Copies of this chain bind each other. A is one copy, B any other.
Amino acid sequence: MMVSDTVHRRPGGRSARVREAVLDATIEAIVAGGYAGLTIDDVARRAGVHKTTLYRRWATREAMVLDALLARSATHVAVPDTGTLRGDLVALLRAVAANITSREGRALVMALLLETRGVPGLDALRQEFWSTRFELVAAVVERAIERGELEGTVDAALLVELAIAPLYLRVLVTGEEIDDAFVVAVADHVMTGAGAPPTTLIDP
């Protein structure tokens, strides 16, 4: 039901709609039963398509899951472009926090995390997912360099990693609440650490 609602709102022809339905169904299936239990049959049934459609489009189960995770991140944790580094960092961290504290986002993180060991293809999948995401989000840092807010020598991937890490630490390890003051403090600390001039505390 969720899937067909989504399909009706989204642009593109039948091929694009089938793709969306399958990617949504893949996420649903992982949330429901974890990664290791994910089957092509289940995804095809949830998406309302024949499983040969899936075999035709994705060479492996991992390739399908990677597409599903990246498509979901593109909408749930979109790369912001607010015009300032601080605005972008705060917007990014708010989206990450909302995602990993949501039922579905948390379930996905846990599913991929719990089944870390001994599941064929999962290490490569995770690596590919994160390198793609870091590359996309690095645009925030690159635009800050272009605007002169950061030196050109800043390591964009490191900066993004330092910015998102405290949110994951709270959700996964310490269990502490993430409030907006924390998000803003992390963004400010990371900016200052990267050599950006200390900001005034105007809400972005």
Contacts and interface: CB of A to CB of B under 8 A. Distances in A.
User: Which of A130, A155, A158, A161 gathers most chain B CB within 10 Å?
Assistant: A161
What interface size band does chain A fall in? 20 to 34
A174 B130 contact: yes
Interface string A149-175: 000000100100110111011101111
A32 to B, nearest CB: 16
16 contacts: A113-B172, A113-B173, A116-B175, A123-B175, A127-B175, A130-B173, A161-B170, A161-B174, A162-B162, A164-B169, A165-B166, A165-B168, A168-B168, A168-B172, A189-B194, A192-B194
Given A113-B173, A127-B175, 18 more contacts: A113-B172, A123-B175, A127-B176, A130-B175, A130-B176, A158-B189, A162-B186, A162-B189, A168-B168, A168-B172, A169-B169, A172-B173, A189-B193, A191-B193, A192-B192, A192-B194, A192-B195, A193-B193
Interface of A: 109-110, 113-114, 116, 123, 126-127, 130, 155, 158, 161-162, 164-166, 168-170, 172-176, 185-186, 189-195
A28 to B, nearest CB: 20
A86 to B, nearest CB: 13
Number of copies of this chain that the complex holds: 2
User: Which of A165, A166, A191 gathers most chain B CB within 10 Å?
Assistant: A165
Contact of A161 (B123, B169, B193): B169
A89 B143 CA distance: 31
B174 A169 contact: no
A147 B81 CA distance: 41
Contacts of A195: 192
Nearest to A134: B174
Contact of A165 (B130, B158, B165): B165
A189 B196 CA distance: 12
